[in-house]
Amino acid sequence: MSDQNDPMAEIRASFFIECEELLEALQDGLQELDDGSEDPETINVVFRAVHSIKGGAGAFGLETLVRFAHRYETVLDEVRNGSLHPDSEAMKLFFLAADQLSDLVRASRDDTPLPEETSEELLGRLDALLGDEGGSEEVEPADFTPMGLSLSLDLPDLDAGPALNRITVRFKPEQELFATGNEPQMLLRNLAALGEAKIRCDMSDLPLLPDLAPETPYLQWIVELETEASEPEIRDIFEFVDGLCEIEISGGEEDSAPLAESAPPPPAPPPEVPKPAAVSPPVAAPTGSAPVASPPAAPAAAAVADKDGEGDGRKGATAAKSVVRVDLERIERLVNLVGELVINQAMLSQSLDEAGLSPHSDAMNGLEEFQRLTRDIQDSVMMIRAQPVKSLFQRMSRIVRESSAAVEKDVRLVTEGEATEVDKTVIERLSDPLTHMIRNAVDHGLETAEKRLAAGKSKAGTVTLTAAHRSGRVIIEVADDGAGINRPRVQEIAVNKGLISPDVQLSDSEIDNLLFLPGFSTASKVSNLSGRGVGMDVVKTAIQSLGGRISINSEPGKGTTFSISLPLTLAVLDGMVVNVAGETLVLPLNVVVETLSLGPDDVQMLRPGAYVVRVRGGFVPLYDLGVMLGYRSSRKTGEGSIVLLISLEDGSRAALVIDGIQDQRQVVIKGLDDSFYRAPGIAAATILGDGQIALILDPADIIAGMGHIRGSDFMFSERMTANE
């Protein structure tokens, strides 16, 4: 509770959020440098990111972070001023240091142990870049004095002993003093505040009026001070004007010069003396093409902006975009409220419908408008939660660096579509599965350098990570240019592990999909990366829990691509509402290819319990959804049954027998608490217009539940295997 009221805690939290942004900018900048960027602003951005992290860290007394950032920054500064030209090794080190910095930031944020050993090692290597003269420059301890939590004013201690010093200060400003915005009057006042002061102005240098140069100071002041302050405290007052004035401090001696009781107001900064250059009329522009002089205030900004060479406004545009930070909880609340609104609207729609109103009545027209608005509001709210996948991709670039180092492969990561926006929760929950996929690509997908060279490929392998929006979904692909899936080997493993029977004939795509079977692992030897018992089945489960699907495409010798298709949001779904055995169910609309009504010869029995339906020349396995879900025991596969043909992105298809179609509409997804039971084939639930709950089906899980091997041997399972 105290946390909420503590402004320091708030700023601290905000500092760590800012750090994430800075770390992102750092990654970007390093990447640009690594790609050969010559833009001086790139290194500036990199430097500033580390510098700002250091600055904030200092304010919170995060000494380890300050120390690391400082030494990292020192090296970057050398790059910035052109005295260090990083080679590819140095760039690698910079990336590692950025990773370490990010670890330190997170450890500081979460108050977990700081990875100091790595820091030392990296700092040693960073220092080495500086050469001998650089050495390890330690931060002065004074530089990171934590900012005090108290905000009380540090007023001079008035209770200090009675020891009064009599001090005389002679102060003669030089012309430059005025150019810095310092004011003699202010300095004298500050001095006077230290005790009893007698100030007199010595005007003896003042020339006669005709000789007076307006910007030259002629005056000096002599201050007799009776004070408890020591000489250093007095010097402190003149800290900012050190070198801009003559200053003499002497202990208690009487000056012989005549005294004036109080000082006349000092001739404050050469008053509003018109600065000749500033107001002189623009020199006639002979060419006529020169711009006409603009009002005095504006050109300053314009001129300087140009001077900084940022005229393109690229960075400017981002910096100028105004942004509001909102507590995620508030957005969650809004999302929930909009969800309720959608449900409410569905209820209203249902009751108006039941009331038998004409579709052309005012009420129905109004409802239509209401529906449109609801949808717009919903889309807008979802937009708030969307964020670019960039941060996720950056984390992945680190995974590539680390995993490629671990298996001693040279790997390049290419990313595309970083700006693609996805729901924040989806991004967060993608991190683990994507990490695993990237590691897999580096470890298993890409060949060793020798094998690559032997195959006539470049020594360095490439992993490509792309994101794109495609027909209302987000597609994320992890592609490697490795050897492709070794299908005979995969099949052999699956047989050896008893996952498939030895005599089964599988298509290429079916073999590839064996990778997703629980308990399958291709690693023939345990490397640093694999062998932790995490397989692609875990990745698949994670993707499915996000309402997504994953598919593989592999070409021998060319590489393997994993495609993840995800909904844009986890909050709503375009669904087809159907009836099965008295229950209402929702299927994601995007998997429904078409609806069919069974004709007399459409259904063929393959063997008892296994049926296929003929769809335009091809055969698709046919299942009764009611039986599959355990809602009824006898199959309804007869003539006239309604069938939904569903298709997944990996090409698998199925025909599902249902009792009737209610509607196609957007439903609000409600998570199911699966803490003690997770139903197979069920992704989530929604609340219908009548307040009842309808389950949302997970078509991929349903198809998977029909048995792993499809096409040739799809045993109909009366009960889907529940514990996979």
| Residues 42 to 101 in contact with another protein, rule: CB under 8 A | 44-45, 47-48, 51-52, 54-56, 58-60
Q: Binding of another protein at residue 596 (CB under 8 A)?
A: no
Closer of 283 and 320 to another protein (Cβ): 320
Residue 572 beta carbon to another protein: minimum distance, rounded to whole angstroms: 14
Interface stretch with another protein, choices 253-261, 486-494, 542-550, 673-681 (CB under 8 A): 673-681
Out of 1, 153, 208, 284, the only residue in the binding site for another protein (CB under 8 A) is 153
Restricting to residues 478-507, name those near another protein by CB under 8 A.
none
- The 3-state DSSP class for residue 381 equals helix
Closer of 607 and 676 to another protein (Cβ): 676
Look at residues 694, 691, 696 and name the one whose alpha carbon lies nearest to residue 343.
691
DSSP per-residue letters across 120-171:
HHHHHHHHHHTHHHH--PPPPGGGGPPPPS--------TTS----EEEEEEE
Out of 679, 707, 711, 715, the only residue in the binding site for another protein (CB under 8 A) is 679
Q: Binding of another protein at residue 106 (CB under 8 A)?
A: no
Closer of 1 and 149 to another protein (Cβ): 149
Q: Binding of another protein at residue 304 (CB under 8 A)?
A: yes
Cα 520 to chain center, whole Å?
Answer: 33
Interface stretch with another protein, choices 303-311, 488-496, 511-519, 643-651 (CB under 8 A): 303-311
Closer of 245 and 463 to another protein (Cβ): 245
Closer of 48 and 710 to another protein (Cβ): 48
Q: For residue 521, give the DSSP letter.
A: -
Measured CA to CA, the distance from residue 686 to residue 508 in angstroms comes to 37
Which two three-digit tokens encode residue 521?
């692992």
Measured CA to CA, the distance from residue 236 to residue 247 in angstroms comes to 12
Q: Is the CB of residue 185 less than 8 Å from the CB of residue 265?
A: yes
Out of 278, 284, 324, 419, the only residue in the binding site for another protein (CB under 8 A) is 278
Measured CA to CA, the distance from residue 579 to residue 573 in angstroms comes to 18
Residue 502: CB atoms within 10 A of its CB come to 10
Q: Is the CB of residue 46 less than 8 Å from the CB of residue 33?
A: yes
Q: Is the CB of residue 581 less than 8 Å from the CB of residue 658?
A: no
Q: Is the CB of residue 531 less than 8 Å from the CB of residue 523?
A: yes
Q: Binding of another protein at residue 158 (CB under 8 A)?
A: no
Restricting to residues 313-372, name those near another protein by CB under 8 A.
315-316, 319-320, 336, 339-340, 343
Residue 123: CA count within 13 A, CB half-sphere: 19
Closer of 364 and 538 to another protein (Cβ): 538
Residue 591 beta carbon to another protein: minimum distance, rounded to whole angstroms: 18
Restricting to residues 14-33, name those near another protein by CB under 8 A.
14-15, 18
Residue 91 beta carbon to another protein: minimum distance, rounded to whole angstroms: 22
Q: Binding of another protein at residue 192 (CB under 8 A)?
A: no
Number of residues forming the site for another protein (CB under 8 A): 98
Which two three-digit tokens encode residue 549?
């699907």
Out of 175, 180, 250, 712, the only residue in the binding site for another protein (CB under 8 A) is 180
Measured CA to CA, the distance from residue 34 to residue 95 in angstroms comes to 10
Out of 89, 213, 678, 724, the only residue in the binding site for another protein (CB under 8 A) is 678
Residue 298 beta carbon to another protein: minimum distance, rounded to whole angstroms: 8
Restricting to residues 608-647, name those near another protein by CB under 8 A.
628-631
Look at residues 634, 646, 619 and name the one whose alpha carbon lies nearest to residue 704.
646
Closer of 232 and 251 to another protein (Cβ): 232
Q: Binding of another protein at residue 710 (CB under 8 A)?
A: no
* Strands in 394-542 per DSSP E: 411-416, 421-423, 461-470, 473-480
Measured CA to CA, the distance from residue 114 to residue 65 in angstroms comes to 9
